[in-house]
Structure 1
Amino acid sequence: MRDRSSPRRPRRPAAGPVPGEPGRGERGGIVSGVCHGTLGELYQGPLRAGPEPDIAVVSFPVDRHSWVCFTPGEAAGPPRRPPLGEKSMTAVRLFLEHYGLTLPPGDWSTYSELRVGVGMASSTADVVATLRCLFRVFSLPCDLEVMLGVLARIERADSVFLDEFALHLSGRHRVVRRLGTGIGFHTVFVTEPGTVDTAAVTSRLLAHYRRRGEEYERCLGDLLKGFACGDAAAVARAATVSAALSQEVLPKASFDALLAHRERFGADGVFVAHTGCLAGYLFTRRPAAGVKCELSAFFRSLGHQCSFAQGGYG
């Protein structure tokens, strides 16, 4: 029997990861990075009225994600081409150059619930997930400034690098105001055919913003007041105004029908991917099963299969 009067031998603390050195994942050495996407924007327009408008966005986060995994280890056979996209591979190179690191041997794998080119921030989410994975590979704290610096050298970006709403200058990669996590919506949306190249339509957008600057400024003011008060219905109304203004320059085929039938379904607002192909309804309360059936039939009558998803955070 052990002598209870004798002190226990102190346990030696487990060695932690060494920053800057390749770490090991929780199981089998696998390390993962994850990032949510968006359902377009609740607002996209100028930050303020004026002759030289900046493109400001309040992205609409959705509970759908992009995953990037890295499994360290020597691969058998000839080297395999990484499954990462071109932008994510650029992010890997810029990350390693910034820290002066060398990636250990291993394999990348990816998976995404986000469709490409429709307004779900798929490429930005891929890049952010890749960077989050790299921070974990090397046991480094996730540095937002480093992430923004990498994104700035790759593309105009949505604010999916934050886990909250934000008013964000997408071209300058600058967060103007954090808007918190108090607002959330139930959504139903469709994806119209085609894709939109944001860079190709930027000049048209800026010309439109100059023409309608005062309307956009009022819209953004109402949206920010809604966030400040935690009033989801007010945010939904402002999002509808932003979507309607976008319709003048990058129209969605289903938008007029959505707007005309909004009250019939009890929706609080309409949202779109301003430079994408998404359009849908915002609900501050979960639609009942019967309403979902009616919504499905309605969107099918427009030639689309609808999807339901949780947007925001509240």
Structure 2
Amino acid sequence: MRDPAGAHRLCRFTNASPPGGPERAGPAPAVRDREEQGPPGRGTLSGVCHGTLGELYQGPLRAGADPDIAVVSFPVNLHSWVYFTPGAAAGPPQPPPLGEKAVAAARLFLEHYGLTLPPGEWSAHSDLRVGVGMASSTADIVATLRCLFHVFSLPCDMDVVLGILGAIERADSVFLDEFALHLSGRHRVVRRLGTDVGFHTAFVTEPGTVDTHAVTGRLLEHYRRRGEEYERCLTDLLKGFASGDPAAVARAATVSATLSQGVLPKTAFGSLLAHRERFGADGIFVAHTGCLIGYLFTRRPDADLKSELSAFFHSLGHQCSFAQGGYG
């Protein structure tokens, strides 16, 4: 389990051969050469992936009796890092400090390419809190895969990344460096939404965690009941992205957050909505299946506004954080 404070982690991992599984065709000669020789004489290699501040939209792709869960994740300038330093390490081998899902991703990567990881040291670091809606596990998986592509000097293959994600978990679109409308369960990008929109945020994390798998049935039933409202919300959101209008995107995100109150409510939502105009916020965002909630600003809050926001959130019992989300 990751240290919530994002402490740096280091360990030795000297026996990374993939476990038994379905037999695969041998790697192409160029890949086999890498397997036999190991990585060239280089130092530490790294993979990095950003996380999210929940979603600007989560709901059905379209109204209907059998909805897909569609998301427009809200990328944030906070990251997971994974490092591998080739070279024999003293002492007994230990499991890498990457979390079970990232370890599974590494195993599937090695199985897919028919490779064996050489001796070396793994380490990892993350800004992302676990279980609150920041896509921490998906970011760990993607950072691990990007690191492995670098270790073996392979081009990053998005089909491989998506295939491994699909074998492990429902995922956010953190493997892209742009906004996207994404079917999280099917691991399919419906529409790329570009990098024209960005926000400044003030947000808090409410207590607790949410098990996304456990609440999926409740979400789908809620989407069936409110399908037409979600469809209008998504239409407005996509229009905002198409026109590069962050204020329109923020309004649609507020509608999506409001609809989310009907199934996974946030305690602070009513207070944030009531005081939105007071602070000049353009909208409200939430982690729909997490614990984050906050304000969207199209302009950077100055020091006085940050002080007011901090005092407001403190009065609700929360420590306020500020971060830049999106692009733009």
CA distance in 1 between counterparts of 2:172 and 2:91 reads 39
In structure 2, the partner of 1:182 is: 196
CA distance in 2 between counterparts of 1:82 and 1:43 reads 34
Write the letter of the residue equivalent to 1:299: F
- Do residues 259 (structure 1) and 277 (structure 2) align? no
In structure 1, the partner of 2:8 is: none
Question: Residue 168 of structure 1 aligns to a residue in which SS?
Answer: strand
The Cα shift of 1:80 comes to: 2.1
Q: Flag as ranges the 4+ runs of structure 1 deviating above 2 A.
A: 22-26
How do 1:1-314 and structure 2 match up within 5 A? 21=34, 22-24=38-40, 29-314=43-328
CA distance in 2 between counterparts of 1:75 and 1:153 reads 31
* CA contact 1:19–1:139 (8 Å) conserved in 2: no
The Cα shift of 1:78 comes to: 1.5
Q: What's the Cα RMSD here? A: 1.0
* CA contact 1:192–1:278 (8 Å) conserved in 2: yes
- Give me the identity figure in percent: 81
Q: Structure 2: which 5+ residue stretches go unaligned?
A: 1-29
Write the letter of the residue equivalent to 2:53: L
Write the letter of the residue equivalent to 2:96: P
The Cα shift of 1:81 comes to: 2.4
CA distance in 1 between counterparts of 2:313 and 2:44 reads 41
CA distance in 2 between counterparts of 1:68 and 1:24 reads 19
CA distance in 1 between counterparts of 2:206 and 2:316 reads 10
In structure 2, the partner of 1:6 is: none
Max radius of gyration: which structure? Answer: 1
CA distance in 1 between counterparts of 2:214 and 2:176 reads 26
CA distance in 1 between counterparts of 2:167 and 2:201 reads 33
Write the letter of the residue equivalent to 1:187: T
Question: Residue 61 of structure 1 aligns to a residue in which SS?
Answer: strand
Write the letter of the residue equivalent to 2:261: Q
CA distance in 2 between counterparts of 1:19 and 1:235 reads 45
Structure 1 residues 298, 167: closer, same or farther in 2, change over 3 A? same
* CA contact 1:23–1:136 (8 Å) conserved in 2: no
Question: Residue 311 of structure 1 aligns to a residue in which SS?
Answer: strand
The Cα shift of 1:25 comes to: 7.6
Q: Structure 1: which 5+ residue stretches go unaligned?
A: 1-17
Aligned residue pairs: how many? Answer: 295
Structure 1 residues 144, 178: closer, same or farther in 2, change over 3 A? same
Structure 1 residues 247, 25: closer, same or farther in 2, change over 3 A? farther
CA distance in 2 between counterparts of 1:25 and 1:178 reads 38
CA distance in 2 between counterparts of 1:180 and 1:294 reads 33
TM-score computed with the length of structure 2 as normaliser: 0.89
In structure 2, the partner of 1:11 is: none
* CA contact 1:24–1:31 (8 Å) conserved in 2: no
